[in-house]
Each structure stands twice: as structure tokens, then as C-alpha cells.
Structure 1
Amino acid sequence: SFIQTLQCCGASYLQMCLICTLYSLQMFSSFVVKWIQRHALSKVPILQEALGVTALCDPQQQKVSDAFQVVADEVDGEGGIKKLIEVPSFTPSKEVFVKIVRELFSDGEINWGRVVTVFCFAGMFVLKAHESKICELIKTIISWIIDFFREKVLGWIKEQGGWEGIFSYVGIPMWQFLGIFLAGVVTTLVVVHKMRAE
């Protein structure tokens, strides 16, 4: 795996953290572009340029990226996250992002479904910022994702052997995702609508 390769190369702990963060950011950016492209939600080339996405050349990275798309479709089976873009008054904010992360990880458990759910929400935040022509907000959203990686999941991902660990999650029955969807997505959408009403 990617983590094992770094260890074999004699990378220090700090070097591994930095490389893993950059790798994670690349996976996120690639995920957002591919997800939006698959669901025809926006003009991909312009968004790709705004995110600074480069093509994934490594076949293993491509497989990981494809696995993320599969899990994302399972997590957002009802399209609740994608509907965020249809809420005219919704503006991405760190307050909402933090509420999402806190809700999803309120019981302290981390799994790939929850990590991908954060990716989906952050992806919609990026798309909303892009559609609202608030391009400078995209870099801010990316900084939120970097903080999320470092504070919440980087250590856990390393324990799973790297991003390749998601392969073990693909194919889990849909009912195991419902807890994530109902507790996280629906609750957060309620929060968003409450914020609209205030």
C-alpha cells in the first residue's frame, strides 16, 4: 500500500503526515471533479481549473478514486446532499461544515462511509461556491478539508493501510449506510434549513 511504500523508503513521521495530507487533498479534489462530472452537476473543466486538479496517473489511485464514487453513490442514495445546490439561499460556511463533521463523528466512530460523506458535502460546498461565483471561497473550503484530514482521520487512514483500505468497504449492504445517512445527512440538512429561516 501507499503507507507501506513510505515506510519502506524510510520516511519520518512528519514526512509521512505531510505526504499523506497532500495525497488526501489530491484524492478529495479528484473525487469532487469526478462526482460532479458523473452527475452532470456543473461545467467540469472550469471547476477542475479552480481546484487545481491534476489527472491521477497511478492505476492504484484510479482504483481508489473509483471506489470512492461507489461508496458516495451508496451514502447519498436519495440525493439529499446533491439537493444542497438547489437551495438558493444556501451559502457554504465553516459553521455548517463543522456541524456536519461533529454530527457524523459524534459517537467517535470513524468509517469510510462517514469519510466519503464529508467528501460529498465538501464537494457540494465547492460547487455552490463555484456556481455563486465566490471562487476565493473554494480555497477556504479546501483548507477546511485539510484541517479535517489532520484532526479527524489522518491517523485512522494510516491505521487502515492508507486510502486503499476503502476497498474493504465497497459492497457492504445498504442498511449499514442508512445510519450514516439518517443521522448525518438529514440532520445537517435540517440545520441548514433552520439557518435559512433565521
Structure 2
Amino acid sequence: MACEGNGMSDERIGEALIKEVIQEELKDVPREDVPPLTPVTGKVKEEEEKVVNQLAKITRIIGDRVKDDAELKDAIDGFIGCPSSGSMSDRFKEVANKVLESGITWERIAVLFYVAGKLAHRMVEAHIPQSVRDILRCTVEFFRNNLLGWIRKHGGWINSFSDLAMASMQSVSSMSSQSSALALIFITGLAIGSFISWRLTRQS
């Protein structure tokens, strides 16, 4: 059962997650260089916000694992380096299709959102910060058109926790210096996810 059946919106959660991941990638950029990112949909509910916060942490862990991937770097560089080769939406679709070329999974969705954050950061570095809003718009548009149906079919964001947590734990094992902190994030996220799932089950 997807989140909507329990008063939570997979669409709101996804869009809020995209915005959160992009903002996280821009946290070290001077505030005056970043245009404000207004919510695409209505304000998330308190329980949805907890889901978003935990998913953002897990996405960051997974993103740290793939940040040195040569193919992803090439896709990001190609996006930034060819501003005249089609609309931004079309160029973003090319990057997204590269990320998802082996099929949609929870982990690949997290990687795509992470890549969107990296694209936004590179836009600021290239002195075209106004494009950050376009990156947000393109990512949300792709999410709605290509990922939301899959997410709902697979039980909603609540059901993503176990797969994403497993992927993040694989990252933990390869980063021993940070393993304690990341393991704590993993356990916290899994606990909150389980708690929310339990509450929603009780309410249904």
C-alpha cells in the first residue's frame, strides 16, 4: 500500500526530498549565490518531514559512495559543458536515463537525486546560479513522470527504507573511519521508518 492510503503523499515526500538533497549540496555555497528554492507542492506534514529527513541522510551516504564513479562524472560534466545541446529538461533526461539505464531501484533513485544536487552545485560554480531552480524543476518533473508511478507500485517511500538502508550499510563497510556515525544514521533511519510504518498500519 502506498503512502497516500494512510494520509501521506509519496509525491510530496519525493519533491521535498529532491529539494532537501539539492539544498544539502549547496550548504557550503555563500547564501547570496543561491536563489531561494520554494516548495514545489504544499508543505509536508510532520510525519512526512521525518521520512524526508531520514531519506536525505541515507541518500547522502549512498551519494558519497558513488561520487567518484567515472561514468557519473562524465554525465555531469557533459550536462554542464554542453548548454547549447538541447533544452535543460532534455539534457537532464539524458543524465537520468544514464543513472537508471539498468532499471529503476530505490538505490538508483537516491543516486539520481544526489546527482541533481551535484548538478545544482556545479551550476553555481559555473556562475549561473539561476539554473539551480531549473535543476529542481527538471528533477521534480522527471520524478513525477517517470518515478512516482514505480514508487507507488512498490509500496511508497515507507517501503524504501529497508533497501536504502542496506545500500547505505554497504557504504559504511567501505568507509571505516566514518562507520560509527553512519551506522547510527542507518539505525535511526530504520527505527523511524519502522515506527512510522507501524503507526500507519495501526491507523489504517
Q: Is the pair's TM-score, using the shorter chain for normalization, greater than 0.5? A: yes
Aligned residue identity for 1:7: G
Are 1:63 and 2:43 counterparts? Answer: no
Instruction: Output the CA distance in 2 between the equivalents of 1:67 and 1:60.
Output: 11
Runs of 4+ in structure 1 over 6 Å off: 53-56, 82-87
Identity %: 18
Are 1:90 and 2:84 counterparts? Answer: no
Instruction: Output the CA distance in 1 between the equivalents of 2:136 and 2:109.
Output: 15
Residue in 1 that maps onto 2:36 = 50
Count residues with an aligned counterpart. 158
Q: 1:135 aligns to what SS in structure 2? A: coil
Are 1:168 and 2:158 counterparts? Answer: no
Q: Cα offset for 1:156?
A: 1.3
Q: 1:124 to 1:56 in 2, by over 3 A?
A: farther
Please give the residue correspondences for 1:18-167 in structure 2 after superposition, counting only pairs within 5 Å. Answer: 19-37=9-27, 40=28, 42-43=29-30, 45-46=31-32, 50-52=36-38, 58-76=49-67, 90=81, 93-107=88-102, 109-167=103-161
Q: Cα offset for 1:127?
A: 1.6
Aligned residue identity for 1:148: F
Instruction: Output the CA distance in 2 between the equivalents of 1:61 and 1:126.
Output: 19
Residue in 2 that maps onto 1:185 = none
Q: 2:119 aligns to what SS in structure 1? A: helix
Aligned residue identity for 2:153: E
Q: 1:131 to 1:51 in 2, by over 3 A?
A: farther
Instruction: Output the CA distance in 1 between the equivalents of 2:141 and 2:54.
Output: 25
Q: Deviations over 1:4-33 (max 9, x none)?
A: 4x3145xxxxxx8xx533332211111122
Q: Cα offset for 1:101?
A: 1.8
Alignment gaps of 5+ in structure 2 = 172-204
Instruction: Output the CA distance in 1 between the equivalents of 2:73 and 2:32.
Output: 19
Residue in 2 that maps onto 1:180 = none
Would the aligned equivalents of 1:21 and 1:150 in 2 still touch at CA under 8 Å? yes
Q: Deviations over 1:10-64 (max 9, x none)?
A: xxxxxx8xx5333322111111222444xx5x23x44675223799953333222
Q: Cα offset for 1:71?
A: 1.8
Q: Cα offset for 1:171?
A: 2.7
TM-score (norm 2): 0.59
Would the aligned equivalents of 2:76 and 2:95 in 1 still touch at CA under 8 Å? no
Aligned residue identity for 2:151: I
Instruction: Output the CA distance in 1 between the equivalents of 2:45 and 2:33.
Output: 16
Q: 1:119 to 1:59 in 2, by over 3 A?
A: closer
Q: 1:46 to 1:30 in 2, by over 3 A?
A: farther
